[in-house]
Amino acid sequence: MVDVRRIDQEIRDFYYKRGTIVSEELIDAILYSIDGGGKRIRPILLLQIVEGFGVELQQAHYQVAAALEMIHTGSLIHDDLPAMDNDDYRRGRLTNHKKFDEATAILAGDSLFLDAFGLLSLADLPNQVLLDLVQLMSLASGTFGMVGGQMLDMLGEGKKLEIFDLINIHSNKTGRLLTFPFHAAGIITQQPSSVVSSLWQAGMLIGHAFQVRDDILDVTADFDELGKTPQKDLAAEKATYPSLLGLEESKFIVQDSLNKAVAIFKELEEHNGFKGQDVYQLIESLRING
């Protein structure tokens, strides 16, 4: 059973048990966003899939999961900055640059991006597994993944995009980091390449569904539901799935993508002994009702 508290504890231990603290103020800003009420979807998925292959969770697995959450949190801090999405609230609280200041928020995000690899390096895993995870995390989060996708997203503001442009933005900005836990779990449990490929496909489908879902909620949800300013994409004149395809078609894409991901896990259950009950529950929580 995944213990979410251990994810957070690994992050806190990294900052308070690694040696002399250089700046308490910086750590305060980092932990403000870490403790901001995130659902921990990415690290939980990673740990659930590792467990689903019959592997007992160890500290090393929680360290990999925590490193992933650090990357994600750093991206949110930077996304909220005035030069990016320029939002005052995240998860119902002031964003990092509003709670502290813009320079502190930039540095907190920088720290989380870099410190994630420091924490990952501590995981007691086989050397090749650890090397593969470092490479995978870099590709998922940097120029060839999340950061590259954010650049495409900014360049697309106020422009008329086609659906393939939007898919390219989302598959990198959001999809790659959401695919990481699936791919990484296959590497950690040393699955054959065919299984790792299936996990990667499931991750891409869920990453796609997650971003389309986010586009829908930006239009349909209010501040209390989102914890941040609604209709930000509309105000920024961003292309979204609802703006290009309409709400009903967008909802269908979410459902269809999640159904296809579930089908992949059913195949893994049948042929590879995977136990997917916890993963199914998390996938179901992503569905759009109504």
Walk me through the domains of the chain, giving residue ranges and CATH numbers: 4-284 (1.10.600.10)
User: In this predicted structure, what is the pLDDT of residue 228?
Assistant: 65
Dist CA 171 CA 271 (whole Å): 28
SS3 string, 219-284, reads: HHCCHHHHCCCCCHHHHCCCCCHHHHHCHHHHHHHHHHHHHHHHHHHHHHHHHHCCCCHHHHHHHH
User: In this predicted structure, what is the pLDDT of residue 58?
Assistant: 97
The residue type of 286 is: L
User: In this predicted structure, what is the pLDDT of residue 115?
Assistant: 98
In angstroms and rounded to an integer, the radius of gyration of the C-alpha atoms of the chain is: 19
Report residues of the chain scoring pLDDT below 70: 224-237, 290
Both tokens assigned to 223: 């501040």
User: In this predicted structure, what is the pLDDT of residue 40?
Assistant: 95
> What's the whole-model pTM score?
0.93
Dist CA 188 CA 129 (whole Å): 6
131-157 burial string, b = 16+ CB within 10 Å, else e? ebbeebbeebbeeebbbbbbebbeebe
- Please list, in sequence order, all residues whose beta carbon lies within 8 angstroms of the beta carbon of residue 101, skipping any fewer than 6 positions away: none
pLDDT, tens digit (0-9, with 9 covering 90-100), for 14-64:
999 877 889 999 999 999 999 998 899 999 999 999 999 999 999 999 999
